[in-house]
Structure 1
Amino acid sequence: MNGPHASAPPLLDELVRLAPPGARTAGPVTVLKETRVLVVRVGDVVVKAHPPETDEAGLRARLAAVRRLPEIMLTPLALHRLDGDPPHGGRLVTIWPAGVPLTPDDLDGTGPGPHDGGGTPWEKGGRLLARLHAHAPPAGLPPAGGPARVARAVAGLAEVDAPARVLAPIREAYAALPRGPGRSPRLTHGDWHLGQLVVHRGRWLLIDPDDLGVGDPAWDLARPAAWFAAGLLEPATWERLLSAYLAAGGTAVSARDPWRELDVPARALTIQLAATAVATAARAGEPLDDVAAAMLSSCERIAAAGR
C-alpha cells in the first residue's frame, strides 16, 4: 500500500496495544466482532473500536449513564481516542471487563451461567430491561439509537444487488410506518437481544450502550416481538420474556394489550432485520435462509396492510 498511511499499524494491533499489560498475558487475542465496529478479547478484557463517525460527546454521556447502573449494565474500564492520522487516528475505543456470553444451553437454563432460580436468560433479560426502564434518563443523554438503526438498514439497500421483488416489500413496509412523536420517552437500551447479556462476577448484566438513550422503551422488546410475530420465536418463550418484564414492574407495555405499544416498534424491527438479512445474503452471493425469508414475508404483510 502506498501513500501517507502505508505505515499505520492494523486496527487490531492498536486495540491490543491499548489493553492493560496484565490483560495481554491473561489469555489469547480473539476477534469477537468485525463489522462497523471491531471488538477484540484480549485476555480478561474486551476492547472495542467504535464506528469512525461516533460522536464523542454522545458516547461519553452514554458511558456516564452506564456507570450509574452497575447492577444492570456492565461498567466500562476506560475510553481512549486513537492517536495519529486516518485510517485509525481519532477513532474512539472503549475497554471493558470480559463477561461470559450465553451458550445455547443457557437458553433453557442448563448452561454454566449462575442459576439463581430466576429462570432462563429470557426471564433475566426481561427483568433487567424492566429495571433499566425504571430509571429516568440523565440530562444530556442522546436519543436512543433504535429508529436510526432501522433507517440505516433501509438506506443501505441502495447498495444491495438484489431483485426488485425482494427489495420492494421492505421499502414499502418502511414507508408505511407511522411517523411523529412516540410515547413519553424513558431510558432505553436501543438494541436489545440475547447477545446483549453476559455473566460477570456471578451476575447477569446488559452490555453495549452504543444505542443507549432517551426513547420509547417498547423498542427494547421489539426484536423478540418481531421474531414472535414472524413465527420464529415460540409463544411460550415470548411469554416468559414478557411475563418476567411485567412482573418486574416494566412499564413499556401494558399487561392487558402489549401490542398496543409494540405494534409499531415490532414492525420497524421486522423491516430492519429483513433489510440486514437481504443485504448479508446479497453480499455473500447466497439465497435467503429461512429466517430471512420469514422476515421478508412479514414485510410483505406489513406493506399489504398499509396499502
Structure 2
Amino acid sequence: MEGTYRRLVQTRSGADIVVDGDVVHKLHRIGTNPRYLAQRLRIARESPALLSPLSVVPEAVGPRWRSSWPRVDTVAPDPEHAPWVEAGALLAALHTEPVTARAPGHGWPQRLRRTVERLRSERGPIHAAAVALPAVVWRTGTPGRPVTLVHGDWHLGQLGRRGPAAAWQLIDVDDVGVGDPAWDLARPAGFWAAGLIPDVDWQTFLEAYRARGPGLPPGDPWRVLEPFARAAVVHAAATGLAHGDTDDTQQALLDACERMR
C-alpha cells in the first residue's frame, strides 16, 4: 500500500469511491440516511469483525454523505485460493457480537426492493421469480429465528485486510444492522444453488461458519436458507440485467430464476 495516488471507482450500488493514497473516501448513494449511516459507522468502530472507519461522523458533500476509511487489500479473483474458511469464521464472529440498541435494521430487504422496482417493465424469468418470493424475504428479521448483527450485503468481495499478514475484516457498512443472520449466507447459498460455487467451497464455508455461528440449526441448512438464497439470486440477476451483463454468471442466474418459476 505504498505510494500516493488518487483514483475514482464507481460501484453498482450507486456509491462513488475515491482512493487517495492510503485513505478511501466513500460517497454513499443518493438517499442514504445520515443518522443510520452514523450508527453503522459507530458499530464498525466498536466491532472487531468490521473494518474501523477513520471517523464516525459522515460528511455532507452536496446532497450526499461521505465516510472515510483506511485503504485495504481485497480478495484476489482466484477461485482456487478463495478464503472460504476465513469468511465463514468471520461471519460467525460478527453474528456472535453483542447487539446494541443503536443498531438499525440491516439493509438487505430494502436493497432487494430497490432492485425489484427496476423490473417493472421486465416480464421475463427474473420478474416471475421476484413475484414468487415469499413474505419472509421482505423483512429484516424472522419470527422464531436468532437476531444478530448482520453485514447485509455479504460476498467474498466484502473482505479486506491491511496487508498480507493481517487478518481479514468485513468492509462496506451501508447495510449493516440487526436481523436474521441467514441473510449473510444468502448470496453464497444462492450462487451455490445456481452452480456458481463448487460443492467443496460451499461445504468448507458452511463448516467454518457452523463452528461458531448461530444462524443455522443442526441438520439440513436449506430449510432455513432457501428463501433467502432465492432472494439473493433474484437480486444478482436483476442487477446484472440492469447493467447489461451477458456473461456465463448472468446466464446461470437467469437459468436459476427460470427454475424458480
Could you tell me which amino acid in structure 2 is paired with residue 177 of structure 1? L
Instruction: Identify if the C-alpha distance between structure 1 residues 301 and 34 changes in structure 2 by more than 3 Å, giving closer, same or farther.
Output: closer
Q: Distance in 1 between matches of 2:194 and 2:51?
A: 31
Rounded to whole Å, the distance in 2 between the matches of 1:81 and 1:227 is 36
1:278 aligns with 2:241: yes
Residue 104 of structure 1 and its aligned partner are, at CA, apart by: 2.9
Q: CA RMSD in A?
A: 2.0
User: Residue by residue, what CA displacement relative to the aligned partner does 1:215-240 show, whole Å, maximum 9, x if unpaired?
Assistant: 11111111111111011110001111
Alignment partner for residue 125 of structure 2, among 169, 192, 199? 169
| Structure 1 contact 187–214 (Cα < 8 Å) conserved | yes
| 1:103 Cα deviation after fit | 1.4
**What's the counterpart of residue 14 of structure 1?**
none
After TM superposition, list the pairs within 5 Å mapping 1:60-75 onto structure 2: 60-69=38-47, 71-75=48-52
Q: What's 2:259 paired with?
A: 301
TM-score, normalised by the number of residues in structure 1? 0.77
Structure 2 counterpart of 1:32: 9
What SS does the corresponding residue of 2:124 show, helix, strand or coil?
A: helix
Q: What is the alpha-carbon distance in structure 2 between the residues aligned to residue 81 and residue 66 of structure 1? A: 17
SS at match of 1:203: coil
Matches within 5 A, 1:75-224: 75-78=52-55, 79-82=57-60, 88-105=61-78, 107-109=79-81, 120-158=82-120, 167-180=123-136, 182=142, 183-200=145-162, 202-224=166-188
Q: Which runs of 5+ in 2 are unaligned?
A: none
Deviations 1:148-198 (A, max 9, x none): 11111111123x6xxx5xx33222222222215613322100000011001
SS in 2 for 1:226: helix
1:205 alignment partner AA: Q
Q: Aligned pairs, how many?
A: 251
> SS of 1:48's equivalent?
strand
1:291 and 1:81 mapped to 2: Cα distance? 37
Percent of paired sites with the same residue: 41
1:81 offset after TM fit, Å?
2.3
* TM superposition score normalised by structure 2: 0.90
Task: Determine the C-alpha separation between the residues in 2 that align with 1:81 and 1:28.
Answer: 22
- Give deviations 1:74-102, integer Å, cap 9, x for gaps: 100023423xxxxx514211110001112
Q: Are the structure 2 counterparts of residues 175 and 136 from structure 1 closer, same or farther at C-alpha, using a change threshold of 3 Å?
A: farther
Structure ID, larger Rg: 1
Q: Is the 8 A contact 1:81 1:90 kept in 2?
A: no
* In 2, Cα distance between equivalents of 1:239 and 1:34: 30
C-alpha distance in structure 1 between counterparts of 2:218 and 2:197, whole Å = 19
* Contact in 1 for aligned 2:38/2:58 (Cα 8 Å): no
| CA distance in structure 1 between the aligned counterparts of 2:127 and 2:253, rounded to whole angstroms | 13
Taking the aligned partners of 2:134 and 2:146, their CA distance within structure 1 comes to 16
C-alpha deviations, 1:4-52, integer Å up to 9, x for none? xxxxxxxxxxxxxxxxxxx9x9511022334410011100111100112
What is the aligned counterpart of 2:205 among 217, 222, 241?
241
Look up the SS of the partner of 2:119 in the other structure: helix
Tell me the distance in 2 between the aligned counterparts of 1:189 and 1:295. Answer: 23
CA distance in 2 between counterparts of 1:301 and 1:89 reads 44
Deviations 1:273-299 (A, max 9, x none): 111111111xxxx7x322111111111
Equivalent-residue separation in structure 2 for 1:300 and 1:34 (angstroms): 27
Distance across 2 between alignment mates of 1:101 and 1:216: 26
Distance of 1:33 and 1:207 partners within structure 2: 16
SS at match of 1:39: strand
Letter of the 1:32 counterpart: V
